[in-house]
């Protein structure tokens, strides 16, 4: 049986038929989490509650009344989603020890369908970053650093070099979630995507990363970074799974006034065979400076793949692309400055011992609680929001944002169905190399291919495509029309089938051998 069917014929079926129980599944995942601890993908592992949820799921299966396709399926959630009774830290000192009193809507939806929550995953502090390296719990390591594929290709610089020194980053900011899915410790994970934070690590970790249309999935309970761009992101091992997750999460939430009112109908993805009616756009501006020749070649190959299959492939232009990074930074930092204002140490989270006055307590709390990246963005954001700067920066950036969004509208109106672009500029960098530049520089570089979709609110997905010369995953991105996730995922699924991205070969997973995992490991997409 094929990996792509794991939810339906594989694990879901296995659960239904009693070939494996939710408790066994949960225990296996928990054990794997323990043995892959060096990845630092999880901040909190909720062993007790997970096992309890698994038990309850088991009861339901015994009675023949599972809640649905996700009943008993282990999942992980990025640590910037509120989870009732479970610590939510956003990888920051500011929220260390903070226990949320409620579940984010998306978390609640998953739990209501019987999913088993394994834990909260690691990220860049407050989701600011593109490496998952700047959280207080330390960086996340890309599981591919320990893969056979990577090890074979890497040339050890010295005989005594061990796996400690040339591990590569996951990308960010949802690196923990991407690593968790990539290393088989869970079957799906929630991330968030503001400028690419789900798609970027998905590309580096070789998993599917879906950024849904803004307004489709509720942000209630997602600790906000940029309210007008944040979306919950979905990370899975195949496109079909992403569609299933999307189906269980999308829809209007009265608690989030930015979700659309229209009814959402979950869909099953058709197996597309004929792409001749499809028009794929290749935006020329996405041939960005710094794009590796490898990825460029892969992008080109992918375009040819569509062409040879009969699709119409056209070069298009999104002329305002080059302004998007700057525009993004202005709007992002402005909203960040606003959203971070609530962290004053009074009601929850870290509070400084400084007591001389309210102001000094606030200042000390915020200096102690936030890292440099966060503080930097707050300062910038406040600068842009000053009365004398508001028109020059904030309003201007909003106008540019409108132009960027219009670029997409024009292109889609001209008959193009889907855009095909690279997701990242290169494969994952070694950690030691990545930290040579600061967070701001890295973000500016890495976000360039992903953040326009956030500015325009469009759905976008990373599909793992091939391994680089260094043996690391490279993904390509598809961007679709607003609320046309079905079309987007259908095309993505077709592409996934064509490229047959290899399964990661991890020692730790080999050791946790059992039927289910054996099937999972075997690579072929049939």
Partner 1 sequence: VLNRRCVEAAVMTGLALHCHINKKSLFDRKHYFYADLPAGYQITQQRVPIAVNGSLSYSLCIGNKMSQMVTKTVRIKQIQLEQDSGKSLHDDTRSQTLVDLNRAGVGLMELVMEPDMCCGEEAAAAVRELQLILQTLGSSQAVMAEGQLRVDANVSVHHPGEPYGVRTEVKNINSIRFLAKAVDYEIQRQIKELGNGGTILNETRAFDSKLGCTVPMRDKEGKQDYRFMPEPNLPPLILYDAKSLPANMNHQQVINIDWIHERLPDLPSVKREKLVEQYGILPEHSFTLLNENGLAEFFESVVKQTQMKPKKVIGWILNDLLSYLKQHSLTVKESPVSSFLLADLLNLLEKKEISSTAAKQVLAELWKGEGKTPLETVKEQKLELLQDQKELEQICQAVIDGQENEVIVMVLG
- Provide the annotated active-site residues: 78, 173, 197
Ranges of H-type helices in 270-394: 293-308, 321-339, 358-369, 372-385, 387-389
CA dihedral 67, 520, 9, 59 (to 10 degrees): -30
Strand pairing category for 116-121 and 208-211: unpaired
Position among 158, 261, 276, 526 found at the interface with partner 1 (CB under 8 A): 261
Position among 93, 228, 317, 406 found at the interface with partner 1 (CB under 8 A): 228
CA–CA dist 478, 493 (Å, integer) = 11
Q: Number of residues in contact with partner 1, rule: CB under 8 A?
A: 29
Helix axes 239-249, 105-112, angle to 10 degrees: 100
The answer to whether the beta carbons of residues 316 and 303 sit under 8 Å apart is no
Q: Which is nearer to partner 1, 342 or 511 (CB)?
A: 342
Give residues 345-384 in contact with partner 1 (rule: CB under 8 A). Answer: 346-347, 358-359, 362, 382
Position among 342, 392, 402, 511 found at the interface with partner 1 (CB under 8 A): 342
Least distance in angstroms from the C-beta of 398 to partner 1: 9
Q: Which is nearer to partner 1, 61 or 393 (CB)?
A: 393
| Span of 75-83, 112-120, 124-132, 251-259 interacting with partner 1 by CB under 8 A | 251-259
Listing from the earlier edge strand, what are the strands of the sheet with 116-121? 42-45, 116-121, 74-78, 188-193, 231-236, 208-211, 460-467, 473-479, 418-422, 279-283, 312-316
Least distance in angstroms from the C-beta of 220 to partner 1: 9
Least distance in angstroms from the C-beta of 367 to partner 1: 14
**Alpha-carbon distances, residue 27 vs 411, 496, 503 (angstroms):** 49, 30, 22
Question: Does 441 sit near partner 1 (CB under 8 A)?
Answer: no
Q: In the stretch 303-332, what mask flags binding to partner 1 with x, by CB under 8 A?
A: ------------------------------
**Alpha-carbon distances, residue 416 vs 373, 412, 479 (angstroms):** 38, 5, 11
Q: Which is nearer to partner 1, 394 or 494 (CB)?
A: 394
How many C-alpha atoms does 438 have within 13 Å on its Cβ side?
A: 7
Return all residues near 9 (Cβ < 8 A) that are at least 6 apart: 1
Q: Which is nearer to partner 1, 45 or 334 (CB)?
A: 334
| Span of 28-36, 253-261, 277-285, 505-513 interacting with partner 1 by CB under 8 A | 253-261
Least distance in angstroms from the C-beta of 446 to partner 1: 24
The helix (H) or strand (E) run that includes residue 192 is strand 188-193
> Given the rule CB under 8 A, which residues bind partner 1?
226-228, 254-258, 261, 334-335, 337-338, 340-344, 346-347, 358-359, 362, 382, 385-387, 390, 394
């Amino acid at each position: 049986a094929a990996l792509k069917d794991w939810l339906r014929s594989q694990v879901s079926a296995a659960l239904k038929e009693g070939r494996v129980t939710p408790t066994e599944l949960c225990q296996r995942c928990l054990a794997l989490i323990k043995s892959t601890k060096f990845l630092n993908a999880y901040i909190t592992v909720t062993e007790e509650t997970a096992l309890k949820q698994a038990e309850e799921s088991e009861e339901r299966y015994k009675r023949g009344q599972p809640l649905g396709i996700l009943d008993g399926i282990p999942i992980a959630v990025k640590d910037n989603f509120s989870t009732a009774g479970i610590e939510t830290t956003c990888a920051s000192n500011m929220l260390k020890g903070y226990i949320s009193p409620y579940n984010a809507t998306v978390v609640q939806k998953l739990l209501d369908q019987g999913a088993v929550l394994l834990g909260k995953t690691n990220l860049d502090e407050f989701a600011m970053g593109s490496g998952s390296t700047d959280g207080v719990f330390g960086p996340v390591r890309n599981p591919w650093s320990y893969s056979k594929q990577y090890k074979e290709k890497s040339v050890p610089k010295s005989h005594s070099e061990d796996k400690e020194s040339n591990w590569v980053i996951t990308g960010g900011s949802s690196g923990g979630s991407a690593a968790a899915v990539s290393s088989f410790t869970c079957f799906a994970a929630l991330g968030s995507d503001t400028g690419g934070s789900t798609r970027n690590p998905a590309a580096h970790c070789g998993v599917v990363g879906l950024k849904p249309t803004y307004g489709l999935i509720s942000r209630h309970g997602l600790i906000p970074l940029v309210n007008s761009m944040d979306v919950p992101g979905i990370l899975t091992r195949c496109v079909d799974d992403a569609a299933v997750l999307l189906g269980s999460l999308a829809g209007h939430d009265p608690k989030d006034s930015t979700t659309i009112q229209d009814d959402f109908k979950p869909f099953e993805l058709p197996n597309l065979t004929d792409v001749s009616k499809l028009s794929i756009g290749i935006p020329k501006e996405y041939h960005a400076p710094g794009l590796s020749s490898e990825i460029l070649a892969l992008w080109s190959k992918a375009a040819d793949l569509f062409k040879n299959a009969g699709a119409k492939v056209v070069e298009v232009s999104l002329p305002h692309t080059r302004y998007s990074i700057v525009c993004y930074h202005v709007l992002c930092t402005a909203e960040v400055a606003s959203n971070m204002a609530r962290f004053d140490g009074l009601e929850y989270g870290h509070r400084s011992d400084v007591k001389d006055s309210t102001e000094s307590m606030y200042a000390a709390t915020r200096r102690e609680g936030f890292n440099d990246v966060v503080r930097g963005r707050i300062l910038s954001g406040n600068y842009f929001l000053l009365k004398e700067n508001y028109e020059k920066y904030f309003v201007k950036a909003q106008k540019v944002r409108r132009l960027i969004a219009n670029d997409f509208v024009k292109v889609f109106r001209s008959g193009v169905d889907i855009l095909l672009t690279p997701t990242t500029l290169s494969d994952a960098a070694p950690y030691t190399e990545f930290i040579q530049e600061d967070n701001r520089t890295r973000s500016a570089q890495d976000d360039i291919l992903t953040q326009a979709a956030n500015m325009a609110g469009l759905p976008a997905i990373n599909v793992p495509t091939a391994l680089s010369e260094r043996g690391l995953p490279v993904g390509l991105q598809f961007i679709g029309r607003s609320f046309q996730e079905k079309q987007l995922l259908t095309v993505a699924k077709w592409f996934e089938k064509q490229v047959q991205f290899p399964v990661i070969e991890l020692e730790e997973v080999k050791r946790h051998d059992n039927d289910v995992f054996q099937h999972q490991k075997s690579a072929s997409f049939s």
